[in-house]
Structure 1
Amino acid sequence: MKKIFFTSVMLLLGGSAIAQGFLNKLKQKAENMATKTLENVIDGKNNTGKKTSIESNASGDDNGHQENEPVGKKTALSGTTTYDFIPGSKVLLADDFSQDALGQFPLKWYTRSKGEVVTLNNAKGKWLRLYPGAFVSPVVNIGENATIEFDLIMDWPLAGGYMVPAFNFAFYDRGNKGEIMSYDYRLKNCLKVGIAPYRSEAAVQLTSYENVAKKLETDKYRVANFDRKVGNVIHVAISIQKERIRIWLDKEKVFDLPNAVPLNSNFNQLKLDMGSSNYTNDQLGFYVSNFKIAEGSGDRRSKLLSGGKLETSGILFATNSAEIKSDSEGTIEEVATVLRENPELKIRIIGHTDAVGNASANLTLSKKRADAVRDILINDYQIEIGQIETDGKGDTAPVADESNEQNKAKNRRVEFVKI
């Protein structure tokens, strides 16, 4: 068709110089169109600028696309991470309010507000119900390496029209019983975390103070779909290693800050704050329980290899059960790494319980708990069964008297012994 057009023009113009110039322009235009077409093919487009099947088939599945399916759509990038929180093995403070009377404020805590120990229809154990105001834990020397855990329930009417009150928790130094709440207390070192729900999400922010001055204030981390947590247990886990702090909410790591903790902080008390709102008390329910503060440790893998023994209270079980709670993954994974890297190593897993209940039942329970740890190592981490033996000693080998819940938690432990 183009040749016919070119020939017709030549005839009309009689081969003159004008005709030659006109033909040159047409030739250049044709060459430009050809070049552009080639570029579009390389880019995966047709002459209209739309993507061709070259690109869409390259990134699509082997079965091609349906007729109305958009082509050339790129898959969103995604990453994976692991829940690497490992509870400390030496318990410094454990409180689940089991020794406190229902309807009363817990004896070891302090407040200028109102609080009461309650039970809930959808969560086990006893809980401290918070009301707007401040609440302070018993005094405990947290140290520069520590892990802190507790459970939190925040309940409010999802159809309500008011701002939901924020929940804050903070660590202070120089705490002396209820001193932190007095007007005479002078802030020195502090680490404060705020959780502020808004619509379907929650903003989490950390602020630290070192020698009175503000050391760091983070950006707000947005926890998506926080409304799905309303009325459910939220597990808070914190790891402090000198200046570094990591915080998880239900295994979602919200902060990993290398230099946020004040140097020489000497934290010794935990303070909780519930904000005020236009909701009435019967519309809101903020509850806390299962506090556990433990001493952090160094490389526990080397303890098993060189010392021949690793003992931990960081593997948690359901009450009167061998069911392992998911929060124990970090500790078990650490042991699995040692066994995988040292296939000649053999260990004995020994379960221990506290002295609550029947001694014979405790002996059986301790063996079942050791077996449960073994089963996870074998089934989830593919450790050879020949590397593991199990035993249970019930409450026959305590490491602390059981005058309080803190010591009971120390006795509920698991040993990994090199054999």
Structure 2
Amino acid sequence: MEVAMLHVSTSLSAGRLLQHALKEPVLILDYDFEVGNLKHLELPVHAQLSDIDEPVKFWCCNNAREITALYYLCHQLPFHLIKLMNLSEHLDLLNWDVRSTNEIGVEQAKMLNQLEARQLSESEYNHYQSEWQRLANESGDLRIMRQQVCTNQVDYYDDIIKYLIDTSIPNEQGLVHPARIVGEMLGNTAQCISDTFFHERLKHVIHCEGIKVIGSLKEMRDYQIKVPGVVHFPIYNGLEYVYVEGDGPCKVILQPLDEVFIGYYYQTDDDHFLMMNPAGVGHSKPCDDERHLEDYAREFYELIKGLHIKSFEIIAYNDAYYVAKQLVKMYDLKVEIEHIDSLEDDDIEGRLMMASIKKDQSDEALLDGISIQSDSDVVSKAMMQNYTSRKLYEAAYKRLSHWDSDLAKLNF
């Protein structure tokens, strides 16, 4: 009777999936090989591997956690016992760029198990042993994958986490749920790092920066973050606005509580912009009615004064153009107005973006990821938020002292 091969996984969820899919024994090394002092792992992991004297099939992808575990496996077992099932070598069969063994399903596991696992060569084995020694002796408790597994300090992502806090759009109380920050990090880094790590770093940033929270920091569900620099404007005609400011390049969201989008202000390194929507300031009165223009203009001027804006441009859709002109006329503002007549214009995306940003970027880069909808409020909000977030994150990364290829791969 054929004895089932022992499979090895470094993930509890992936290990249980393999057990369910293959109906064969699976050894689960559920340790954070990507975070922490590797020398502290040697004793507990060694205890699980010490009795192995037959070939094992190690399941992995090209990420820091699983490749570091492979190095340790080579540190503990003779090379002829190690067979490798690296999913990153079979992406053509999986039809997507899988980053971790956690990402495959039962059917994919069954299909891959039909393939012959690769026997390590002696030269590979020796190289992996030396890589383990290198990583174990390096100073730093965070490992990320570039061309190889690299060691970094645990505060590697702290600047980005701080920037995400500063630039997050808060709720009406000026609060942001920590799960949003952790989710941004998980979804936009090329690395396979746990939510637990990012949450611990988030709590560290909150503590070090003196950021206020509502609730207990023990669990993500137990607290919310008070976004720094958030103040509430007075209420104008029943609408309340929120001012959000971050370090360096900042953005300000004019978000009425009734969810009628009024305007979007943002600041880059050199420019300030205020977006006005065709609905004026959220009332049913027509924007082109001269009886109401002064009322609209006064309300926008109060907002501008509150923001301490020194220079900006106005991009006005349709009838909002009349409000913009009245604003300039009443207060003798030195403001350039871009008037867009119709949202049905085929070139609306390019006209809006090029009017907003006088930079040497291509239309393709500016329009990446933007979907156009018929409703003008949704269009203006979606387009400006998409563009602004991309520019702000880019600016944040360029300010980081540890800018490198890993950060360049982030998808913000």
Q: TM-score range by the shorter chain?
A: under 0.3
- Greater share of helix: 2
Larger Rg belongs to: 1
- Greater share of strand: 1
Higher relative contact order (CA 8 A, sep 6+): 1
